A and B are shown apart, each in its own frame.
Chain A
Amino acid sequence: MPSGQKKAPGKMLQLLVELQDLDLMIREAAVQEEKNLGFEIKDVSRLQEARRKLADALSPEVLKRYERLMERFDRAVVPVHRGVCLGCFMSLPTAQAQTVKRHAGIKVCENCGRILYWLGE
Chain B
Amino acid sequence: MERPMTDQEFVDLFKEELYISNLNARNKQEVLEEFADLLVHTGKISNRSIVLDMLTRRERLGSTAIGKGLAIPHGRTLMARDLIVAFGRSPDGLDYDAPDDQPVHLFFLIVAPYRERQQRYLPALGKIAEFFQGEKLRDKILQTEHFEEFIDALWSKEGAR
* Chain A residues proximal to chain B, CB less than 8 Å: 14, 17-18, 20-22, 24-25, 28-29, 33-34, 37-42, 44, 46-47, 50, 75, 77-79, 81, 117, 119-120
Q: Shortest distance in angstroms between A66's beta carbon and chain B's nearest beta carbon?
A: 13
Count residues of chain B with CB under 8 A from any CB of chain A: 29
1/0 per residue B31-68: CB within 8 Å of A? 00000000000010011011001100110111110100
List B88-139 residues whose CB lies under 8 Å from chain A: 99, 113-114, 122, 125-126, 129
- Give Cα A46–Cα B149 distance, bound, in whole angstroms: 40
Interface centre among A17, A39, A40 (most CB of B within 10 A): A39
Q: Shortest distance in angstroms between B111's beta carbon and chain A's nearest beta carbon?
A: 11
If A37-B122, A37-B129, A38-B129 touch, does A17 touch B60 (CB 8 Å cutoff)?
Answer: no
If A37-B122, A42-B62, A79-B78 touch, does A24 touch B114 (CB 8 Å cutoff)?
Answer: yes
- Give Cα A50–Cα B53 distance, bound, in whole angstroms: 10
